[in-house]
Amino acid sequence: MLSPAKKTTTQLADGRELIYYDLDPSADREARDPRSLPAVDSRPELRRDELTGDWVTIASHRQGRVHHPPADACPLCPSRDGRHGEIPAADYEVAVFENRFPALSGDAGRCEVVCFTADHTARFADLAPERARLVLDAWTDRTRELSALPGIEQVYCFENRGAEIGVTLPHPHGQIYAFPFVTPRTRKMIASAEAHRAATGRNLFEDLLTAQEADPARTVLRGERWTAFVPYAARWPYEVHLLPHRRVTDLTRLSEAERSEFPDVYLELLRRFDRLFPAPDSADGTAPTPYVSAWHQAPRTRGDELALHLQLFTIRRTRDKLKFLAGVESGMDAFVSDVAPEAAARRLREVAS
């Protein structure tokens, strides 16, 4: 671990790994899972699309996973008052465990769930900076551990937030996929970066940051070590890329100074997203904006030109309208954006704290 966090590794009743991350070194993590669970029986299958060369995961067992349970039956809440879920402890700070309904498992990879907080009603944006830093340290630790597993090519840390995105559990959590292949988006980015290097002798991501400094029309916020901006050809109505100024290939290579600044920058971005579409009838005038938050990291091989960055986007284009991937986007992978990137950046600056 890169911070003074305490890491405790244990097992759930069916043998899946459970890991606690705590700022409190005296945290008691001796509670055991008393449930009687059958062993996980998942046999996802990887199939290559003959037309595109992309890998598709067939994971039909996921049809039986828990779907929007009532709050008092949430499997991600701490185990209390005789109710036992996936986390045996009566309280926790950050917890990571192997998914019981994984899209990837065994030789086909690994899937983990990251619980950001024990508070069922919280948002990531509600976390204190030190707790957001603890999540960053958990992402980093899991990236290091999973990257070392045999056959793993790429580690992907992400959060889906909101029923509109397809989230089946409202408790604040994210996931980590350890892929046995390089994902299609990453392959495209690597090809673009390598072509840019061949044509200019420079790195593509470094040039993108330099361009933002020269013309900040699409810059959302800039810190001492991180910059957030709307990409020139943003696909989603509101989409932000967050990059450290010093190019690194994955989370494990961030410096302590970069880690220290990240929570304040990221929490501010999340708060701005929740202010995009005001809800007058809510307590604070804001409504939880559905979003995907995705860490793009270099794969194990052929990733030297890639830069670690976080992609944050929402499918909501107005308060009452969503961006649906219909014929053009789903059928041809040709996106049409409803919001100009410069207008999106301007709006995200307007809703600053």
pLDDT band at 200 (very low <50, low <70, confident <90, very high): very high
Average pLDDT over the chain, rounded to an integer = 94
Mean of pLDDT values over 294-320: 96
**Residues 246-300: pLDDT tens digits?**
999 999 999 999 999 999 999 999 999 999 998 877 777 677 899 999 999 999 9
Euclidean distance between CA atoms 96 and 175, whole angstroms: 9
Mean of pLDDT values over 299-321: 95
pLDDT band at 40 (very low <50, low <70, confident <90, very high): confident
Burial of residue 197, with CB atoms counted within 10 A of its CB: 0-12 exposed, 13-18 middle, 19 or more buried? middle
Catalytic sites, residue numbers: 173
Mean of pLDDT values over 146-174: 96
Cα distances (angstroms) measured from residue 71 to each of 80, 171, 174, 183: 13, 9, 18, 35
Domains annotated on the chain, with CATH: 6-179 (3.30.428.10), 184-350 (3.30.428.10)
Euclidean distance between CA atoms 325 and 51, whole angstroms: 21
pLDDT band at 66 (very low <50, low <70, confident <90, very high): low
pLDDT band at 3 (very low <50, low <70, confident <90, very high): low
pLDDT band at 4 (very low <50, low <70, confident <90, very high): low
Mean of pLDDT values over 134-139: 98
At residue 263, the pLDDT reads 98
Euclidean distance between CA atoms 183 and 193, whole angstroms: 15
At residue 331, the pLDDT reads 95
- Is the pLDDT at 1 greater than 60? The verdict is no
Which pTM was predicted? 0.95
At residue 162, the pLDDT reads 95
Percent of the chain with pLDDT over 90: 84
With tokens 């699309």, the residue in question is: 49
Chain centroid offset of residue 157 CA: 4
Query: Six-digit token pair at 103?
Result: 């899209």
